[in-house]
Structure 1
C-alpha cells in the first residue's frame, strides 16, 4: 500500500512538473503581449520601445510600480504606469494608466482583477465613457477629486459596485501620486552651474 501510494504521488508530481514546464513560457509570453497592448492603449502614438526604458518606483504603500516612458522622437508623450491595489471587493486589482508629463490621465487598461461579473467588471469601460461625471480620461488628478462621489469625490461609482470603484480609483491615485512625487523630487534638485563641484 505504501509502495502504491509512493508510485501514485511520484507520477502526479512528475505530471504537474511537466505541465508547469510546458505552460510556463506561453503564459509568460501572453502576459508580455497583454502588457505591450496595454501600453499602446494608454499612451498611443509613441515610436520608441517603452520596455527598454522601463524603470521602477516604490509607492508609499510598498507596491513596486513599473513606469514605461513613451516617446515620439525625443518628445516624451507620457508614461504608462502599471499600478495595483489590494482594496478590491475580491482582492487585488492591477491596471495600466497613461499619464501626460503634466499628470493628466490619457487612458487606462485593466490588467487583472477578480471582481464580481456584471458589477465590478464594468470598470473595464465605466471610467472612460461619455458621461463626464464618471470618466477619468483627460482629467488631471491635481484638479479633480479622484474618489467616488459618495466619499465627496468627483467621480460616479459603478452602480452597485462602490468598493470596486474605490479600489480602481485608489490604483489610479497610487500611480499618479508615486509618479508626481518622483517628478517633484527631480525638479527640486538644483541644476549645477558650469564650474560647480558635484
Structure 2
C-alpha cells in the first residue's frame, strides 16, 4: 500500500507540474494571439499604414452610457507622427431585438466614419444576423458617412424616413444599430480633442 501511495503521489505531482508548465508555456502565446486578433479588428477599420502608434495600448476608458450604451467604454486611439488620426470605440446597442449588440465604431479625426463592425450579438439567424459582414454588406453602408452625410435627421432606417436600409422581417436590429452609430458620432464630435489628450481624461472618463 505504501508503494502504491508513493506511485500515485508521484503521478499527482508530475501531472500538476505538467499542467503548470503548459499553462506558463502557452499563456504568452494566448495573450499574443488575443492581441493580434484585436489589432486585426482595429486595422480593418483604421488601416495600419495610416497610424504609427500602438493602438492596443493607447487607450482610455470613458463613461457615457446614455450615448454609448455601456457603463464603461474603451476608446482605442490612432495617431501618426503624434497627430490624431482616428478613434475606435467599443459601443454597445443595449436594446437589440434579442439582446445587447456590441460594436466597434471607428471615427476619423475629421468626423467621418472609418467603419463599423459587429463583434457580438444574439440576433435571430437568417434575419437580424445580416448585420454581420460575412452575411451581407449592410454594415459597409456606414463607411465614410458622417453627421452631415446623411443629414442628422436622416440617421435612421428607410421605414422611419431615414437613409439606411432595414432587413425584411427585421427592422429593430438595423434601427437600433443606426441609432447607436449616430450617438457614437455625436459623442466624438462633442469630445473629440479630449479623446486624444494624453494627459487629461475625456469627459466622463473612468
TM-score (norm 1): 0.69
Please say if residues 97 and 109 of structure 1, whose CA atoms lie closer than 8 Å, have aligned partners that are also in contact. yes
Indicate yes or no: 2:147 matched with 1:141. yes
Please say if residues 73 and 89 of structure 2, whose CA atoms lie closer than 8 Å, have aligned partners that are also in contact. yes
Q: Which residue does the alignment assign to 1:180?
A: 189
What secondary structure does 2:52 align onto? coil
Indicate yes or no: 2:56 matched with 1:51. yes
Q: Distance in 2 between matches of 1:47 and 1:184?
A: 19
Q: Which residue does the alignment assign to 1:155?
A: 164
Please say if residues 117 and 139 of structure 2, whose CA atoms lie closer than 8 Å, have aligned partners that are also in contact. no
Q: Distance in 1 between matches of 2:93 and 2:101?
A: 5
Q: Which residue does the alignment assign to 1:193?
A: none
Q: Which residue does the alignment assign to 1:35?
A: 38
Once the two structures are superposed, residues 33-55 of structure 1 have per-residue CA deviations (whole angstroms, 9 ceiling, x without a partner) of: 44332211111132211122201
Which segment drifts farther, 29-38 or 86-95? 29-38
Indicate yes or no: 2:128 matched with 1:117. no
Q: Which residue does the alignment assign to 1:127?
A: 138
Taking only aligned residues, the RMSD between alpha carbons, in angstroms, comes to 2.7
Please give the residue correspondences for 1:55-134 in structure 2 after superposition, counting only pairs within 5 Å.
Answer: 55-61=60-66, 63=70, 64-125=72-133, 126-129=137-140
Indicate yes or no: 2:177 matched with 1:168. yes
Structure 2 stretches lacking a partner, 5+ long:
1-22, 196-206
Please say if residues 35 and 56 of structure 2, whose CA atoms lie closer than 8 Å, have aligned partners that are also in contact. no
What secondary structure does 2:188 align onto? helix
Please say if residues 109 and 192 of structure 2, whose CA atoms lie closer than 8 Å, have aligned partners that are also in contact. no
Please say if residues 86 and 109 of structure 2, whose CA atoms lie closer than 8 Å, have aligned partners that are also in contact. yes
Deviation at residue 185 of structure 1 after TM alignment:
7.6
Q: Distance in 2 between matches of 1:48 and 1:174?
A: 27
Q: Distance in 2 between matches of 1:48 and 1:184?
A: 17
